[in-house]
Structure 1
């Protein structure tokens, strides 16, 4: 047998072996596949893939306002988006422009905890998600908040797309931050402002325009600062300074005190509103605070209506409430 013949015989044997091995593998794989098809579903253990911060959420439909909101923002500059998936499948979305990526990322990082904190205080009867936009300039801020007046210097605002009257559900709810919000507020201020505005979103379905501002803004401020660990003096520095000189509020702040105009200390009004709500929470408990909000956020309240709401909720009238609130301020300002 020549060397050439031996090589040919070896190659032929090798091909027969490869053919037999291939047939055997096909048969084995076919058998395994058939067994898997017949296996009950209960016997299959599939490890679920955890949702990430930017994951799509099949169980939560996209907010119907998002396409329109994106188009409106794209008329000012290209848009970047972060989607935040909660453990319960609810989806929050943060939109901004490429040069605002830091603010977009910061808000996306805070929104999950903010939704949880607001829900813990207010309850579960709201959407429990958020649509947040960071505007590029005052003109875009006005457009996104549906503000038809003069261009304002606001840092943030909660807005709805269409007028409504409770108990109808508001539509197109969104929180809009100004282009300067991150720079002016810093991380902590941005986080607390998000919670403040998100509280307005949560309570909007039961809130009638014209309700007392010390209730609306004071409650949102209480929600924003809740659990921060900061002292009374840190949260209400102007109110503290006045109280230490004996200048305690004569009454709850009027609505026009919250308007930032020359000669008007709106910051003090916000601190007074926060302190009135903080007093109720400290003295009567947070469920009573939420109940009081629901009583007083039903529209304008005259002296008689206010007195009735305080009596029915807290068991004290307007005069007693103010006296006890003043004592509470004085005790904390002097601590």
Structure 2
């Protein structure tokens, strides 16, 4: 983030520009880099032209909107139009909002734009996000350089070329072209895994894979390093929690790539369970139930001993003793220590519920709590257990496993 001196420089430059004719150089303070005026009206027209190119899935029309002589920018824009065709993008809109500052000496500047898009057949409503857009003026002509910048949300399909894999139930888009078929298989196999438990789900699973962990941070407008150690996350692609916002699985290719096939499948099935239950928009479900249920779904038919699937929490109990209470929200923070053990402990809570009351009772509990029923009431009605009884049974299970 710029310091106060940089902020004052921008203010001075903008005020000075308002007093002179368009597209003239502004005398900067001594020692500061030169800045130029931006042409917001022309940039807005370029975005309008790009919308038309995307709607037509016309890569050459999009390429023509790049700055003169910038082949790389032309390739990026052509890829956006090609992506749009393969992804069946609908309701695309891009409206220029404002420049983030004056243009640099070479005529380049970054602006904010309101962008909307929807993947037909999968998204019920458009995503709506403010996206940074880079422009450059060359000889008085404004061209579009790229969507996305170091700060701000950078949607994967707008950032560059992607490989697309589609079935009636899954849509995978990946900047990691070499892994496209693998991601597609993981998504396809996750669908029946989830439907065996969440029987009412009408699968519409979208999986997005940026080129890197850094790309995942930018796609989700997160601080650098936020998702460095996370294999995948399910979230709304525009950051909204409103019902109907497109919810996709976002993959960190570096972390998922380190996993063996069985582990990668568990991760994908876990995230697909979140999609099936609209987990990212749930505000009433405690995280132990939200995450534990997704692990229950993903691990239900995996033939591994519990000493493997619960290895981290078993080790933690042996070292520190049995926890007194179910894991709380702070323990699921991405920066928390022993995050793997926390997830395993939440899974074991759901295992205890399914064993004591049956899988149907666990599903009913999840659905009722997600719909707003208080946990204690839903737990008693659906499983016959009180909260203290559940905690006691869970603690007993942990103690037995650690013995």
What TM bracket, shorter-length normalisation? 0.5 to 0.7
3-state SS in 2 of match to 1:193 = helix
3-state SS in 2 of match to 1:211 = coil
CA RMSD, Structure 1 to Structure 2 (Å): 3.2
3-state SS in 2 of match to 1:252 = coil
Q: Does 1:308 align with 2:377?
A: yes
Q: Does 1:110 align with 2:183?
A: no
- Select the structure that is richer in strand: 2
3-state SS in 2 of match to 1:267 = helix
Q: Once the 2 structures are TM-superposed, how far is the Cα of residue 101 of structure 1 from its aligned partner?
A: 3.5
Determine if contact 2:122/2:205 at 8 Å carries over to the other structure: no
Aligned to 1:296: 369
Aligned to 1:220: 294
Name structure 1 gaps, 5 residues minimum.
1-53, 85-89
- Decide which of 166, 177, 202 is 1:101's aligned counterpart: 177
Aligned to 2:311: 237
Q: Once the 2 structures are TM-superposed, how far is the Cα of residue 196 of structure 1 from its aligned partner?
A: 0.8
- Select the structure that is richer in helix: 1
Determine if contact 2:163/2:177 at 8 Å carries over to the other structure: yes
How far apart, CA to CA, are the structure 2 residues paired with 1:66 and 1:306?
Answer: 33
Aligned to 2:198: 122
Aligned to 1:324: 393
- Decide which of 220, 233, 240 is 1:157's aligned counterpart: 233
Aligned to 2:112: none
Aligned to 1:193: 267
3-state SS in 1 of match to 2:340 = helix
- Decide which of 232, 236, 259 is 2:333's aligned counterpart: 259
Q: Once the 2 structures are TM-superposed, how far is the Cα of residue 310 of structure 1 from its aligned partner?
A: 1.8
Aligned to 1:45: none
Q: Once the 2 structures are TM-superposed, how far is the Cα of residue 241 of structure 1 from its aligned partner?
A: 2.5
Aligned to 1:276: 349
- Higher relative contact order (Cα pairs below 8 Å, separated by 6+ residues): 1
Q: Can you list the C-alpha shifts for 1:173-208, whole angstroms capped at 9, x where unaligned?
A: 211111313322232222111111111100117952
Q: Does 1:140 align with 2:215?
A: yes
Q: Once the 2 structures are TM-superposed, how far is the Cα of residue 129 of structure 1 from its aligned partner?
A: 2.6
Aligned to 2:121: 62
How far apart, CA to CA, are the structure 2 residues paired with 1:290 and 1:196?
Answer: 15
How far apart, CA to CA, are the structure 2 residues paired with 1:236 and 1:268?
Answer: 7
Determine if contact 1:115/1:129 at 8 Å carries over to the other structure: no
Q: Once the 2 structures are TM-superposed, how far is the Cα of residue 260 of structure 1 from its aligned partner?
A: 3.8
Q: Cα gap change, 1:244/1:67 in structure 2, threshold over 3 Å: closer, same or farther?
A: closer
Q: Once the 2 structures are TM-superposed, how far is the Cα of residue 62 of structure 1 from its aligned partner?
A: 3.3
Determine if contact 1:217/1:270 at 8 Å carries over to the other structure: yes
Larger radius of gyration: 1
Q: Once the 2 structures are TM-superposed, how far is the Cα of residue 296 of structure 1 from its aligned partner?
A: 2.6
3-state SS in 1 of match to 2:233 = strand
3-state SS in 2 of match to 1:227 = coil
Aligned to 1:81: 164
Q: Cα gap change, 1:249/1:205 in structure 2, threshold over 3 Å: closer, same or farther?
A: closer
3-state SS in 2 of match to 1:180 = helix
Which stretch has the larger CA shift, 251-260 or 204-213? Answer: 204-213
Q: Once the 2 structures are TM-superposed, how far is the Cα of residue 75 of structure 1 from its aligned partner?
A: 4.4
Q: Can you list the C-alpha shifts for 1:202-255, whole angstroms capped at 9, x where unaligned?
A: 011795225311011111111121211111110111222344568222111111
Q: Once the 2 structures are TM-superposed, how far is the Cα of residue 298 of structure 1 from its aligned partner?
A: 4.5
Determine if contact 1:206/1:297 at 8 Å carries over to the other structure: no
Q: Once the 2 structures are TM-superposed, how far is the Cα of residue 148 of structure 1 from its aligned partner?
A: 4.3
What are the residue-to-residue correspondences of 1:12-91 with 2, within 5 Å?
62-63=121-122, 72-84=155-167, 90-91=168-169
How far apart, CA to CA, are the structure 1 residues paired with 2:288 and 2:391?
Answer: 13
Which stretch has the larger CA shift, 314-323 or 183-192? Answer: 183-192
3-state SS in 2 of match to 1:223 = helix
Determine if contact 1:277/1:289 at 8 Å carries over to the other structure: yes
Moved over 6 A (4+): 65-69
Q: Does 1:250 align with 2:324?
A: yes
Q: Once the 2 structures are TM-superposed, how far is the Cα of residue 272 of structure 1 from its aligned partner?
A: 0.8
